[in-house]
Amino acid sequence: MTATNTPIKVEDSKYRDLYREKLTFDSGNFYIFDTYVIAEIAEGYHFDWPSAKVVIDAVYEHFGTKDIKVSYVSNRVNSYSVQPKDWLNFFKERHKIRCIAIVAYSQGGVMSVVLEKIFSKAPMRKFSNLDDGVDWAITCDLRKVEDNRN
């Protein structure tokens, strides 16, 4: 994968009129669709477990239940940091996720994906554009998922 595409935010894409709800926090914008959530973390933010927990609770509130299993699309339009081991907290607390699509537009974004894969139990793939990431997130549990762990 060559990460040379121009970053496209949800609000500037064909998805801008399709989301059910937009959640805005200090940590960034989170767009809720029927079967997936697109995250755009804020520039320079350190996205850690407490920040993630706020978003997770808001997503549960949107759906009215914790018994959901959606896909997560990380649209990395900004430069920020994550704590990869925080994925362990996500699964330890028995949260469910179908798959994780990471859309990385820079080489640095691609490199962090390698670390995150180590800690995630969900199928995870990296993409260089939002359309491919969303397409995969929508269909990831409809077919056998090859999660690029090789």
- What's the pLDDT band for 64 if we cut at 50, 70, 90? very high
Give the percent of the chain with pLDDT over 90. Answer: 53
In the chain, the domains with their CATH numbers are 10-139 (3.30.750)
Give DSSP secondary structure letters for 46-112. EE-HHHHHHHHHHHHHHHT-S---EEEEEEE-S--EE-TTHHHHHHHTT--EEEEEEEE-SHHHHHH
Q: What is the pLDDT of residue 5?
A: 78
Interval 44-62 mean pLDDT: 93
Instruction: Say if residue 145's pLDDT is above 70.
Output: no
| Residues whose CB is less than 8 angstroms from the CB of residue 68 and which lie 6 or more positions away in sequence, other chains included | 59, 60, 96
Cα–Cα dist 45/12, whole Å: 21
Mean predicted lDDT score pLDDT of the chain: 83
Give the global pTM. 0.84
**Which pLDDT score is estimated for 96?**
81
Rounded average pLDDT over 64-88: 86
Q: Are 68 and 90 in contact (CB under 8 A)?
A: no
How high is the pLDDT of residue 3?
43
More confident call, 37 vs 1:
37
pLDDT greater at residue 58 or residue 3: 58
